[in-house]
Amino acid sequence: MKYSSAIFEKAVQQFKNLPGVGQKTALRFALHLLKKKDGNELTSLLQSIQDIQHHIHVCAICHNIADTPECSICSDANRKKNVLCIVETIRDVIAIENTDQYNGLYHILGGLISPLDGIGPEQLHIQSLMHRIQNGHFEEVIFVLNPTIQGDTTIFYIKKLLAQTPISLTSISRGIAFGGELEYADDFTLARALQNRLPIDNYVKN
Amino acid sequence: MKYSSAIFEKAVQQFKNLPGVGQKTALRFALHLLKKKDGNELTSLLQSIQDIQHHIHVCAICHNIADTPECSICSDANRKKNVLCIVETIRDVIAIENTDQYNGLYHILGGLISPLDGIGPEQLHIQSLMHRIQNGHFEEVIFVLNPTIQGDTTIFYIKKLLAQTPISLTSISRGIAFGGELEYADDFTLARALQNRLPIDNYVKN
């Protein structure tokens, strides 16, 4: 593509770095912002990106995003402190919160064990998970991980670490298809899968 | 959607203002930037948006985007100064430049005459067009406008204004389907349509 402005061309290139954005979409974004450059929209967008860069914290307890050092879920007195939901990413927490079916706490692993990609337990937030469980009063740990080999491996690994504890381990039921992505599941399917969670021994055997 | 961070939620809302971006895509963009927040990508994106806001000029002659008060096409000594291509928007110039078939100048109208939308000739850059034509040495004016009623009305209006001049008026041929958008035409079709341009009298009659 040829542009009469090098600044504009650079902006289009920057937008192409966003996930799923190609040349024409990036051009569309840049032209849209150019049209809005005298209004508040551009200033608000700039402010939001700067806020992402400087003002979003990672919760010291569950590794979720937060506006304060401790996230609003961990510090919420109304949530059950004896149930812990283990997820891979922030977007899994968002998906589960949207079902309105869960009122416990979360722990974000930040990934799944995947030896082929060089991701072992030490790259994930498993040490802090163990620390939380040892110092907390959890009665149930629910695994809500993508139903892939990496997800199963991660569950198996954590299950072994927790073998000596009396905590009940469960997993969401196999309502979500193999190879599917949690973020694209509809709220109803995800809510049902949470309600019908299975004891971890059943899950690993099948 | 529920987020544990109000800052993050605001960022997602900002991304939703971009054209064609819904809730899930906006969330994807925000999470992508969050992941990259310590790298250069976010800083470069911020810089580019700030540059769009403050450093992109509009060419005083043709109304194209430019890094200087006069755009690189208008100030290019190698381009033909006797051919003028009239287009609706900046993206039309980008599309034509990509065909590598045109070496003249441009004039961006900034829209098309559309009485139903309250857009008359005075809202467009037609006065500056007349000024250019009266003070220039143009031998041909090529209309490259979307083949819609608004496009035809605009051609008809400008044709009447130029009735007393000896300038040859042409239009790209009807190679582009009615109702189609110039920006989605492939380079080849657009290039052929430019090569096979028709005298304006043939165009308006058919």
Whether the pLDDT of residue A5 is over 70: the answer is: yes
- Pairing outcome for strands B83-87 and B65-66: unpaired
Q: d(Cα A151, Cα A113) in Å, to the nearest integer?
A: 7
**% pLDDT > 70, chain A:** 94
What is the per-residue pLDDT for A100? 87
- Rounded mean pLDDT of B29-41? 88
What is the per-residue pLDDT for B195? 77
Whether the pLDDT of residue A131 is over 90: the answer is: yes
What is the per-residue pLDDT for A180? 64
**Quick one: which of B99, B7, B90 has its CA closest to B52?**
B90
What is the per-residue pLDDT for A113? 94
Between A90-99 and A187-195, two packed helices, what is the crossing angle to 10 degrees?
90
Please state the ipTM of this predicted complex: 0.77
- pLDDT tens for B116-166 read 999 999 999 999 999 999 998 999 999 999 878 899 899 999 999 998 888
| A-chain residues near B7 (CB < 8 A) | 48, 51-52, 55-56, 67
Whether the pLDDT of residue A108 is over 60: the answer is: yes
Q: Is A97 on the interface with B (CB under 8 A)?
A: yes
Whether the pLDDT of residue A133 is over 60: the answer is: yes
Whether the pLDDT of residue A205 is over 60: the answer is: no
Conformational region of residue A181, where left means phi above 0, alpha means psi within -120 to 50, and beta covers everything else: beta
- Rounded mean pLDDT of B178-204? 72
Question: What is the overall mean pLDDT for chain A?
Answer: 87
Whether the pLDDT of residue B206 is over 60: the answer is: no
Q: Is B135 on the interface with A (CB under 8 A)?
A: no
CA-only gyration radius of chain B, Å: 21
Q: d(Cα A55, Cα A66) in Å, to the nearest integer?
A: 9
- pLDDT tens for B14-27 read 999 999 999 999 99
What string of H, E and C letters represents the secondary structure of chain B?
Answer: CCCCCHHHHHHHHHHHCCCCCCHHHHHHHHHHHHHCCCCHHHHHHHHHHHHHHHCCEECCCCCCEECCCCCCCCCCCCCCCCEEEEECCHHHHHHHHCCCCCCCEEEECCCCCEHHHCECHHHCCHHHHHHHHHHCCCCEEEEECCCCHHHHHHHHHHHHHCCCCCCEEEECCCCCCCCCCHHHCCHHHHHHHHHCCEEHHHHHHC
- Rounded mean pLDDT of A104-122? 93
Are B52 and A33 an interchain contact pair (Cβ–Cβ within 8 Å)? yes
Tokens 């009940």, residue?
A168
- Rounded mean pLDDT of B182-205? 72
| A-chain residues near B31 (CB < 8 A) | 89-91
Q: Amino acid letter at B192?
A: R
Q: Amino acid letter at B11?
A: A
Chain B from 7 to 36: CB within 8 A of any A CB: 7-8, 10-11, 14-15, 17-20, 24-25, 27-34
Are B53 and A31 an interchain contact pair (Cβ–Cβ within 8 Å)? no
Which residues on neighbouring strands pair with residue B171, listed in sequence order?
B143, B198
pTM of the model: 0.76
Whether the pLDDT of residue A128 is over 60: the answer is: yes
Question: What is the overall mean pLDDT for chain B?
Answer: 87
**The length of chain B, given as a count of residues:** 206
Q: Report DSSP state, residue A81.
A: S
